[in-house]
Structure 1
Amino acid sequence: MRLRVGILIAFVSALVLVGCAASPTLPQTVGTAAPTPEMSSSATPTPSEPPTVTVPTRFFDGDCAAVLTGAELDDLLGEGWTTFDDYLAAVDGIALPDPLPEGTLGGLTCRWVANEVSSSEVHNLSLLLLPVDQVPAEFLDTFDAKRCDPSYDTSICRLSRSVDGVWIMASPPYYGEGSMGEPSEAFLDRTIAAAAAGVASRGGAPVPATRTAQWWTLPSCEEFASHMRFDELTEGGFESGYWEGSEQAEQSLMAAADVSKDCPYYSSSDRLAPDEEHRIFSVSVYPGGHWMWDVILDGGVDVELTGARAAVAVSYDEHLVNVYATDGVNVVVAGGAEGVEFAADVAERALAALASG
């Protein structure tokens, strides 16, 4: 199972109608008439619209194994490193289908984990590569200097560089003082330089998906909740926001680029009825994300949802489940520890709310 889930331009053609007015009768003049110029038999071609791209072309064709060489990863992480996907499957025994909103922009996210006895500066390492013209302006310079921000019980240190039309961000977590302390800016620069060299030699030319009128418009999470009629699911309603933690920079970037929106919700403790369960769940929206359907999903159980061309439930234990649904153009994911029935209900409500605009 595959793990790790531009600003896009809609082209509108304008038809210009040119009216011809009748010319007044002119007095005839005596003299030799000028020869009539010959008319070309071939009409001037009309420029055609660029083709609509529904399946983007990603850096390295989406293959993280091609981004850094084994020798480069040995140098950065030490011998015995593994991909994050393999690490997660080995440690937790599960594979998490993870949507790829950066891919809609032609981008790629890759992650590796160092051996636990490695002397590397970092325990694991993430790289985000995007065409620089697909990065929202407010993010282009945000991480020009290393910045470490909270992420649940740790911090993530980020540094970005724009190199030959490619925006690259390196972002290892920082767990505190010790052998896996805060990574140096020099280490992050070295990582970015290696990735930039890989892009230049074998990264290919990314092509973002083309935004169309069928792409969902990203709502605010509060407005989204209202349209999903959560008041029908619980007497006390749900709060919009994180029960713990906060939105991460990558999530904010993808939302600003209009290719994904993560909306977490949880039961209001103040208004929770005595006979109701406390719930924590999320709804994630991926406009134009149907291209990733077969990339991230090769398992799960089919479920029937009104408004969905296809829907799949992937369970991690008795209660933890994600329901993935597509209308053939976009993708929505509803998940949490509330079971299949609840997640499917939320996904169906999300489909209806998004379809109504």
Structure 2
Amino acid sequence: MTRAWGATVLISIAALALAACAPTTTGADPTGSSTGDPSPSSTPSATEPAWTVAFDGDCDALLSPEQRETIVAPNMVERTELWEKYTQASQPASVQLPSPGAEGTAGGLRCKWGEDVGNDYEGQWLEVFVFPESLVEASVAGSYAEPTCEAAYGGSSCRLAATAGGAWVLVTMGPDAATTEAPASMTAVRDAVLENLAAAEPPVPATATDQWWPIVDCAALAEDMQLGEVLADYGTGRWEGAPSLEQTILENVGAEQYCEYVADDVANADWFRMSITTAPGGAWLWDRTAVLLPDTVDVEGAEDAVRLTVEGEDETTDVLAATDGTNLIWVTVDGLDVAPEVAARALGTLAASED
């Protein structure tokens, strides 16, 4: 039986109508209250500039609709718009958070678009990731000075990067359908983003506090939260695919971590797959996260929590998001409705890890 991963959470990010409500984050405090509307930070010192999300979290400022249409293809729209239009009705438990997401805590912005050709899987697609240069290892930053196509989950992708104004810009596109080589438009996309970047404030990461969760090894997290008491015979690791470059960067800088746990026995009637995504310092995302899931629930250790449970023909999908007022967590479980208990255990374990 083919199983669709129930909830795609792009906490690394891109926009519904909610994007218009994304807060301006220059000078804001990601460790403030969980209202999702960051309060102004104290005046930064000369050695501690204010937290600044690239392009103020606005994907149209990063690359305007006119630039996308002229350089890439007509009808280039946000990936979340394509998902809502063509896919979400058949996968109601799948949730996508608009940009910016957890990368914003580190000052970054990740924007995704696709060409609307009547579905959400054909046509050209484009992703641009802007991140503080100081947070990208030199070996990574210099890896894509020329267009480079490489194998990726489900096919291949082409990348091109550049550094300017304190920011690292990574452009990722699908290969040319006819030649399987890098699209000719990649260089023009990069140049347009760099031109727009010259008029924007340089990205600056938020300063971590003692209340931020650490990044914990996925196997160690499961053991510390005694996950085996909830999920019998689980294994740690991805069901399929591998972390993207962007995900790896976010984990390395402490902005986001994705852990996956799967039933050891795939043929077992109690088959399950579960993910825990944590965003240290990510409570500023809460307002835009909370509206994505319909039911308010109580979870031990959480200041606020929301949940969506979908009963499918073959299995249940249970999705929960919660915040402790400083950090953010997503739990998604395919096959079991145990997300609140898992979230409570994770919240307790991560809170203890702060000490």
TM range (shorter): 0.7 to 0.9
Deviation (angstroms), 1:84? 1.2
Alpha-carbon distance, 1:315 to partner: 4.8
| Structure 2: gaps of 5 or more residues | 1-15, 23-42, 90-94
2:72 aligned residue (48, 68, 77): 77
Taking the TM superposition and a 5 Å limit, the aligned residue runs for 1:240-259 are 240-259=236-255
TM-score normalised over the length of structure 2: 0.76
How far off its partner does 1:218 sit? 0.6
Greater mean deviation of Cα atoms: 66-75 or 254-263 = 66-75
SS of the equivalent of 1:320 reads strand
Establish whether residue 309 from structure 1 lines up as the match of residue 303 from structure 2.
Answer: yes
Tell which has more relative contact order, 1 or 2 (C-alpha 8 A, sep 6+): 2
Match of 2:130 in 1: 129
Q: How much does 1:351 deviate?
A: 0.7
SS at match of 1:356: helix
Could you say what secondary structure the match of 1:225 adopts?
A: helix
Name 1:141's counterpart in structure 2. 142
Q: Aligned residue for 2:180?
A: 181
Match of 2:7 in 1: none
One-letter identity of the residue aligned with 2:160: L
In structure 1, the gaps of 5 or more residues are 6-47
Find the aligned partners of 1:180 and 1:213 in 2 and give their Cα distance: 51
| Distance verdict in 2 for CA 1:251–1:278, change over 3 Å | same
**SS class of match (1:215):** coil
Distance 1:334 1:149, change over 3 A: farther
Which of 339, 343, 350 is the equivalent residue of 2:339?
Answer: 343
Any idea what SS the aligned residue of 1:171 has? strand
- For 1:307 and 1:51, the matched residues in 2 are separated by 37
Look up the equivalent residue of 1:227 and give its one-letter code: D
Residue correspondences, number: 302
Partner of 1:281: 274
Superposed displacement of residue 334, structure 1 = 0.8
- Name the SS for the 1:290 alignment partner: helix
> Could you say if the C-alpha distance between residues 289 and 277 of structure 1 is closer, same or farther in structure 2, counting changes exceeding 3 Å?
same
Work out which of the residue numbers 61, 67, 75 in structure 2 matches 1:66.
61
Q: Structure 1 residues 305 and 320 mapped into 2: Cα distance closer, same or farther (>3 Å)?
A: same
- Secondary structure of the 1:269 match is coil
* Partner Cα distance (1:149, 1:280) in 2: 28
Aligned-residue offset at 1:324: 0.9
Match of 1:112 in 2: 113
CA contact (8 A) 1:334 1:343 kept: yes
What is the aligned partner in structure 2 of residue 92 from structure 1?
87
Q: Deviations over 1:251-296 (max 9, x none)?
A: 11101111111111101128x8x6x511111111111111111234
Structure 1 position 295 matched with structure 2 position 291? no
Q: 1:50 to 1:234 in 2, by over 3 A?
A: same
Percent identity between the two aligned chains: 27
Distance in 2 (CA, whole Å) between partners of 1:355 and 1:251 is 23
Whether the 8 Å CA contact 2:72–2:185 is kept in 1: the answer is no
Measured in 2, the distance between the counterparts of 1:88 and 1:287 equals: 27
Deviation of 1:137 (Å): 4.1
Q: Is the 8 A contact 1:160 1:168 kept in 2?
A: yes
CA shift for structure 1 position 199: 1.4
